[in-house]
Every structure is written in C-alpha cells, then in structure tokens.
C-alpha cells in the first residue's frame, strides 16, 4: 500500500522525528514528537501505538533513518512519510 493512501485513511499514527524546537514551529495536527535521537529509548511507547505508524521529519532523511531502524528491530507497519509538510498536505486534501 502506498504511504499516501495510508495517510489519507486517517488511521495512521503520525510520528514526527524532528527536534522539539523544530516541532514547535509547525507540525501535523495530532502528530507525536519523538526526536530521532530518542527513537531507541522509546521502542516500548512506539510498540504500543496504533498501527500503521508514519514517520515524518523536515525533508525525509531522518524519517528514513527512523523507519529503517524500526524495521531492523522487527516493527511492522512503519512507513517513511517524508516531510511533515507533505504529510500535512495529504491530510488536508483527503
């Protein structure tokens, strides 16, 4: 399934892996901020979140790293959503 369809479904948990400072300047409504450098410390929290999980950041790089890290640690249904602005645009046009 394409990540765009997952986002449009409205059923995804959106996790923003930018820093708290970046997140405070703008974010997807309802998204959860878990900075990339704390992802490993938050595995239990992430495991308890409703699936699918779509990760986003500023450009796609950090969310890609976070997605790969979670997949290597046996997380299912995690997707790289790219930029939070992209995710936000998809949600506004659904």
Structure tokens at 73: 């640690």
pLDDT tens-digit series, residues 2-55: 999 999 999 999 999 999 999 999 999 999 999 999 999 999 999 999 999 999
pLDDT of res. 78: 98
How large is the average pLDDT for residues 63-78? 97
Architecture of domain 3-92: 3-Layer(aba) Sandwich (3.40)
Mean pLDDT calculated for residue range 45-70:
97
Give the strand pairing for 13-16 and 53-57.
parallel
Q: Please name which of 71, 25, 35 lies closest in space to residue 52, comparing C-alpha atoms.
A: 71
Query: Of the given ranges (1-10, 18-27, 60-69, 70-79), which has the lowest mean pLDDT?
Result: 1-10
């Amino acid at each position: 399934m394409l990540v765009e369809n997952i986002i449009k479904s409205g059923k995804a948990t959106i996790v923003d892996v930018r820093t708290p400072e970046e997140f405070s300047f703008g974010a997807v409504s309802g998204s959860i901020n878990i900075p990339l450098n704390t992802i490993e410390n938050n595995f239990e929290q992430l495991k308890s979140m409703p699936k699918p999980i779509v990760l986003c950041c500023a450009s796609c790089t950090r969310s890609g790293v976070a997605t790969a890290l979670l997949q290597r640690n046996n997380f299912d249904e995690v997707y790289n959503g790219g930029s939070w602005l992209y995710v936000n645009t998809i949600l506004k046009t659904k």
